[in-house]
């Protein structure tokens, strides 16, 4: 099995759409009239959750009508936010067939199918023509990509000159043994952590100029502390990342420990196509 199929298998749930809908119904939601916010506790599975997506969109200066490509779009959380709150036209791509199917289904239920669509695709070989997107985003995806150079080259090809490429990835901050399983990989076989310096070099080689780099560690730690306090007071939300896998508690504990120790860091980079 090649790396892409192993990555897709890692994220495949088997009954994800039904599990999400059943949980929402039990919580009293009308599943035929959802909003992006209704889903944010489960479809924003990156460090910083919806708050990080909001900050990312602001820093990218996403404008109404902008054409956005979201690489590794998962079940569509950030893409739906870009469409609903920022008025963008979003295309999401992902390796996992179930994620693509669920992303499209949930987007229809949110009334956003005319603004966001999702396709199964490999970012190292995009099917789009040259210079068609204003912005490309990649949120907690690079950790599963062994050949980042190929992906960055493809992103540069499909971006308009001057277009923005926003990367928000978990990156290696210092030497040390990474504990597995992690949310993005259960073993080192499909985990390809790199340092910020490596991203900088690869982006420059692909034809990008980095405009900003932000370490979101403090931001994420503060949010996590607030969420723990809220859960202790009111209980954990019924719809959460725990529905994504039986070992998710262990995976989240490992990523939290690695973040607290400074082994990894959630780094946001915004680069301009030159």
Per-residue pLDDT of the chain (274 residues; tens, 9 = 90+): 689 999 999 999 999 999 999 999 998 999 999 988 899 888 999 999 999 999 999 999 999 999 999 999 999 999 999 999 999 999 999 999 999 999 999 999 999 999 999 999 999 999 999 999 999 999 999 999 999 999 999 999 999 999 999 999 999 999 999 999 999 999 999 999 999 999 999 999 999 999 999 999 999 999 999 988 988 888 877 888 888 888 999 999 999 999 999 999 999 999 999 9
How would DSSP label each residue in 53-89? HHHHHHHHT--TT-EEEEET-TTSHHHHHHHHHH--E
As beta bridge partners, residue 159 has 133
Please give the Cα distance from 116 to 79 (Å, whole number). 7
Domain count, the chain: 1
The pLDDT of residue 1: 63
Pairing outcome for strands 133-139 and 159-172: parallel
CATH number at residue 208: 3.40.50.150
Query: Could you list the residue range(s) of the whole structural domain that residue 189 is in?
Result: 3-273
CA atoms within 13 A on the CB side of 178: 26
pLDDT of amino acid 235: 80
Q: In this predicted structure, what is the pLDDT of residue 236?
A: 78
pLDDT at residue 240, rounded to an integer: 84
Joined tokens for residue 70: 């979201």
Q: For 150-191, how does the pLDDT look when each residue is reduced to its tens digit (9 = 90+)?
A: 999 999 999 999 999 999 999 999 999 999 999 999 999 999
């Amino acid at each position: 099995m090649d790396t892409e199929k192993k990555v897709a298998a890692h994220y495949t749930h088997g009954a994800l759409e039904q599990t999400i809908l059943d949980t929402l119904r039990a919580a009293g939601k009308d599943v035929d009239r959802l909003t992006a916010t209704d889903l944010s506790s489960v479809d924003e599975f990156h460090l910083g959750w919806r708050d990080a997506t909001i900050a990312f969109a602001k820093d990218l200066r996403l404008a109404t009508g902008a054409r956005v490509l979201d690489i590794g779009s998962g079940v569509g959380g950030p893409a739906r936010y870009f469409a609903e709150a920022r008025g963008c036209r979003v295309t999401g791509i992902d390796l996992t067939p179930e994620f693509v199917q669920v992303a499209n289904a949930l987007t229809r239920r949110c009334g956003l199918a005319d603004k966001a669509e999702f396709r199964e695709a490999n970012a190292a070989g995009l099917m789009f023509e040259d210079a068609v997107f204003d912005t490309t985003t990649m949120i907690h995806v690079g950790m599963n990509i062994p050949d980042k150079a190929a992906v960055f080259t493809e992103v540069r090809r499909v971006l308009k000159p001057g277009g923005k490429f926003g990367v928000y990835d978990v990156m290696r901050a210092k030497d040390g043994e990474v504990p597995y399983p992690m949310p993005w990989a259960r073993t080192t076989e499909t985990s390809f952590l790199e340092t910020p310096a490596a991203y900088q070099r690869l982006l420059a080689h692909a034809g990008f100029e980095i405009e900003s780099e932000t370490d979101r560690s403090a931001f994420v730690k503060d949010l996590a502390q607030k969420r723990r306090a809220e859960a202790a007071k009111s209980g954990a939300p019924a719809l959460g990342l725990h529905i994504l896998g039986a070992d998710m508690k262990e995976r989240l504990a490992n990523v939290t420990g690695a973040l607290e120790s400074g082994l990894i860091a959630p780094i946001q980079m915004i680069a301009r196509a030159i």
